[in-house]
Amino acid sequence: MDKKISIALVGCGRISEKHVQGIKAHQELTLVSVCDIKKERSDKIAQETGAKAYTNYEQMLDAEKPDAVAIATPNHLHPQMTIQAARRKINVITEKPMALSLSDARAMIDECKKNKVELFVIKQNRYNPPIQKLKEAIDKGRFGKLYLGTIIVRWQRPQGYYDQDDWHGKLLKDGGALLNQASHHVDMLRWLLGPAESVQGIAERLGRNIETEDTALAIIKFKNGALGLIEATTLTYPRNLEGSITIQGEKGTVKVGGTALNKIDTWEFADIENEDDNIKNSSTDPPNVYGFGHQEVYKNVVDCLMRKNACHVNGEDGYKTLELIMAIYKANREGKKVTLPLDVSEGVHLNRF
């Protein structure tokens, strides 16, 4: 592909700014069109970027024929929109969660494979410099035997957040605190510690008038013998207080915190390396929980579509994280330990809170 990669964006809400910035950061990309059912939203981004505005998704795809479409719509729309794009031979870049059921996620993967297009699932926090340093330390064996991985998401989402749109907090449109707010953190735990063997968990609605859980706890046993702990809530008073991951092993402990997994809080190893003295210089200071990683997501889009490099987070990778979350929901529903893999029929439609 010698010409610029044309990108269409659907969904012009709060996350769309990160997509626009990510696309602008690469001269190989061009934003050709934006779409939202709320005309004022798409018009605003169109005026700012020079892209063409639409209110009908399929009309935009047929008229613009972009090389790729970025899907930043409410969660329940991701599968349908992915399939509509794939059938038009358009590559897909979708926000998390990729779907609200394993069957929908599998349909997305299969349709993209059938039509020979890429499916990028956005996990932007994997690209954070502190997380990259942590992954490098794990891959080099600096921890020795891995013992425990812990994620903590202590965030605040007031009732007004759930009331402002018709999909927030809805079981079949949004998913709960695990699928929405803590999705990136769960992905990080699985990415760093590997595939899970079994899960025990509880998910409850404690303080918000919603259809989904606002608080969840889980214990994970990984196939490599390590254990995992998950604490996620949107009830933290009075504001977001912590979003962190801690990895502990026989020869090291690392905690990455900050607003977007962007700050090294603890970096301790038995075997000290030269770079350890300056490791905290890798911390960043993003303005919000979305971080800076969307620019790296789009760099991978360029590398994959132009240079035929591997997609860093493809549909299969996204599926595995979704499966882990669904296993926690199943453990809550059945009140017992759940082993993986799951049947493809698992989805939020089975949940009871």
- What pLDDT is attached to residue 351? 87
For residue 353, being part of any structural domain is answered with no
- Rounded mean pLDDT of 19-30? 97
The closest of 228, 283, 276, 233 to 252, measured between CA atoms, is 276
The closest of 91, 83, 112, 126 to 8, measured between CA atoms, is 91
Local confidence band at 306 (pLDDT 50, 70, 90 cut-offs): very high
For residue 349, being part of any structural domain is answered with no
For residue 350, being part of any structural domain is answered with no
Residues 110 and 182 grouped into a single domain:
no
What percentage of the chain has pLDDT greater than the value 90? 91
For residue 222, being part of any structural domain is answered with yes
For residue range 118-154, list pLDDT tens digits in order.
Answer: 999 999 999 999 999 999 999 999 999 999 999 999 9
For residue 197, being part of any structural domain is answered with yes
Identify the CATH number of the domain in which residue 274 sits: 3.30.360.10
For residue 351, being part of any structural domain is answered with no
Residues 243 and 304 grouped into a single domain:
no
For residue 213, being part of any structural domain is answered with yes
Q: What is the span of the domain harbouring residue 221?
A: 127-286+321-339
For residue 345, being part of any structural domain is answered with no
Measured distance CA(186)–CA(229) in Å, rounded:
10
Residues 62 and 162 grouped into a single domain:
no
Residue where the block lists tokens 């349908």: 80
Give the ranges where the chain is alpha helix by DSSP (H).
16-24, 39-49, 57-64, 78-86, 102-114, 129-139, 159-163, 183-193, 294-307, 315-334
Residues 24 and 68 grouped into a single domain:
yes
- What pLDDT is attached to residue 293? 87
Cis peptide before 129 (omega within 30 of 0): no
Q: In degrees, to the nearest 5, what angle opens at C-alpha 72 toward C-alphas 17 and 150?
A: 90
Residues 190 and 116 grouped into a single domain:
no
Local confidence band at 13 (pLDDT 50, 70, 90 cut-offs): very high
Residues 61 and 119 grouped into a single domain:
yes
Measured distance CA(100)–CA(75) in Å, rounded:
7
Measured distance CA(352)–CA(208) in Å, rounded:
15
Residue where the block lists tokens 């402002």: 164
- At residue 50, what is the residue type? G
Residues 220 and 330 grouped into a single domain:
yes
- What pLDDT is attached to residue 278? 87
- What pLDDT is attached to residue 280? 82
Measured distance CA(259)–CA(279) in Å, rounded:
18
Rounded to whole angstroms, what are the CA distances from 11 to 35, 38, 54? 6, 9, 11
Instruction: Give the burial string for 219-229 (b: 16+ CB within 10 Å, else e).
Output: bbbbeeebebe
Total count of domains within the chain: 2
Residues 86 and 51 grouped into a single domain:
yes
Residues 133 and 65 grouped into a single domain:
no
Identify the CATH number of the domain in which residue 73 sits: 3.40.50.720
Residues 217 and 120 grouped into a single domain:
no
- What pLDDT is attached to residue 282? 83
pLDDT, the chain, mean: 95
- What pLDDT is attached to residue 260? 79
Q: Which two tokens stand for residue 145?
A: 């035997």
Local confidence band at 53 (pLDDT 50, 70, 90 cut-offs): very high
For residue range 273-295, list pLDDT tens digits in order.
Answer: 988 988 988 877 655 555 568 99
Q: Which two tokens stand for residue 263?
A: 């700050």
Answer yes or no: are the C-beta atoms of 126 and 186 closer than 8 Å. no
Measured distance CA(280)–CA(177) in Å, rounded:
30
The yes-or-no verdict on residue 212 having pLDDT over 80 is: yes
Residues 89 and 146 grouped into a single domain:
no
Residues 20 and 86 grouped into a single domain:
yes
Query: Is the model's pTM score more than 0.85?
Result: yes
The yes-or-no verdict on residue 262 having pLDDT over 80 is: yes
- What pLDDT is attached to residue 287? 58
